[in-house]
Structure 1
Amino acid sequence: MTTAGAVMAAAAARLRAAGVPDPARDARLLLAHAASVDAGRITLIAPEEIAPEIAERFERLVSLRAVRVPVSQLVGARAFFGREFKVSREVLDPRPETETLIELALSERFERVLDLGTGSGCILVTLLAERAEATGIGVDLSEGACLQASANAVVHGVAARAEILQSDWFAAVEGRFDLIVANPPYLAAEEMGHVAPELRDHEPRMALTDEADGLSAYRIIADEAQGYLTAAGRVLVEIGWQQGDAVQEIFRRAGWGAVTLAQDLGGRARVVSASMPA
């Protein structure tokens, strides 16, 4: 008899040999997905014989994970700020550090929000789900990302308050907003050779790098966002952990009011905020 626990242990060893970070966790999550059970119940089925069809599904998932396809793409979802978001190869995988931006956004009142480069829609949808009176627009250059963001807006019940537009930054945007948020591509082109295979090979390159110095999007936002903000509006942008000084300088040179830097829970520079000039 081949037990689920034995198959899971063998998969973890295989993933470890392939260089996958936290292989035991990934094996557990993938087995739970293959068996259609909650990950917290895996220990209950571990002593049981694994059904052939579950073993076959699990083998396919493990084979893909061994070549560094992200777990979120294999299971089709990723948790973010207490909600499950549908993901695919078309969008950047929502990451815990982006929750720093969410917390800062929620620390002040807003009624209308613009999310630049919305991707999966995790930022826009979360903000609208947390603020029932708010409405917003999410824009992305990728049609696939727009479809994914729209789907997540439906899943989380905010579609009536969210408009998703295909746009190159502000090109298709009209009106003014209390809050503009963005998690733009901030990796420099030269950094792409050093990122994890999960990012480099399986996530959309245009969401990761500007193919230049990693600061192009911040220059665009700093130069144009004031034309889309209300008088008391503010901008929040996620940054790479080494970009704090450079991004703050970009906003200061563009004539913004208060420009501040916030750290994530790991103590790394994560979000630059800027207010309208007095």
Structure 2
Amino acid sequence: MAEAENTLGGVLRAARARLAAHGIDSAALDARLIVEHFSCTGRTEAVTSPGRVLDASILDAVDAAIARRAGGEPVHRILGFREFYGLELALSPATLEPRPDTETLVDMVLPLVRTTVERQGACRILDLGTGTGAIILALLSQVEQALGVGVDLSGEAVATARRNAERLGLAERFSALESDWFAKISGKFHLIVSNPPYIARKDIAALQAEVRNFDPPLALDGGEDGLGPYRVIAAGAACHLEADGYVAVEIGFDQKPSVIGIFDQAGYSLADSRSDLAGNDRALLFRR
């Protein structure tokens, strides 16, 4: 960056203008997130100390990050983490970014986890396709007597979830396992949760570039009709559920009737459903 832009306020203005010039809709927010991250500052400093001179190493890091964002890479991929349910979760190329819509599923099952703990003294939870560990770690962070197992087909995702659990102080109640769905799972659980891949294969090419180009295909591809993972979960869950256990899944905005039908055929009834903040069907809870 030019020498005139070596102050906190100047760097922030230049970064914002550069992203806006590249058509980034969230230019102001993304510029702020990047500059704050690499300069180890916050919004207070931007107001009270805009003339603070930044080191050359910080300028170089911000410049490189802004170039990546201008090229279409999502800002949280650049930062390497994203917040979910109040937790800061590290990302990796093998994991989806945890998104606010998924918090709908956590909100839906959290009372059930608490009730199970009150009744049973503990709640064992299995998270299928755990990715960063977002869902299961959010639940463990809210309920001290909850225990969790997260599985993923990607070994790199499993390692990421394990690191997140360790950094959040939840590792003693969480284990991560590389497994093709239920293949390596033993034991029974009070609750099975999943945000599975649910994009129909033919629709992946039409996704937003930030999703299509940077989210892992393994975490997007739900098969020919986007419903393949739900069939696997519905068929295999019974062997791993306690007698009064539940299954909760995130769904695509138009998949509610189809997913209900899949679980109905497998012997489950719908116990609850929730919409996200945009009013789209987002989470379903089933009981056998």
My pick for the range that moved more, 19-28 or 31-40, is: 31-40
Give matches, 1:24-35, under 5 Å. 24-35=28-39
2:211 alignment partner, SS class:
helix
Aligned equivalent of 1:72: 76
C-alpha distance in structure 2 between counterparts of 1:101 and 1:45, whole Å: 41
C-alpha distance in structure 1 between counterparts of 2:40 and 2:134, whole Å: 24
Aligned equivalent of 1:115: 127
Q: Is the 8 A contact 1:120 1:145 kept in 2?
A: yes
Give matches, 1:1-278, under 5 Å. 1-2=4-5, 3-108=7-112, 109-110=115-116, 111-276=123-288
C-alpha distance in structure 2 between counterparts of 1:197 and 1:44, whole Å: 37
Give the partner amino acid of 1:52: A
C-alpha distance in structure 2 between counterparts of 1:45 and 1:77, whole Å: 26
Give the partner amino acid of 2:172: A
C-alpha distance in structure 2 between counterparts of 1:140 and 1:41, whole Å: 41
Q: What's the TM-score, normalizing by structure 2?
A: 0.91
Superposition RMSD in Å? 1.5
Aligned equivalent of 2:119: none
C-alpha distance in structure 2 between counterparts of 1:136 and 1:162, whole Å: 5
The alignment of Structure 1 onto Structure 2 pairs a total of residues equal to 276
Identical aligned residues as a percent: 39
Give the partner amino acid of 2:130: T
Q: Is the 8 A contact 1:248 1:260 kept in 2?
A: no
Q: What's the TM-score, normalizing by structure 1?
A: 0.94
How big is the shift at 1:66? 1.1
Give the partner amino acid of 1:215: L
How big is the shift at 1:272? 1.2
How big is the shift at 1:19? 3.0
C-alpha distance in structure 2 between counterparts of 1:268 and 1:65, whole Å: 29
What runs of 5+ residues in structure 1 fail to find an aligned partner? none
What runs of 5+ residues in structure 2 fail to find an aligned partner? 117-122
C-alpha distance in structure 1 between counterparts of 2:128 and 2:44, whole Å: 36
Q: Is the 8 A contact 2:193 2:247 kept in 1?
A: yes
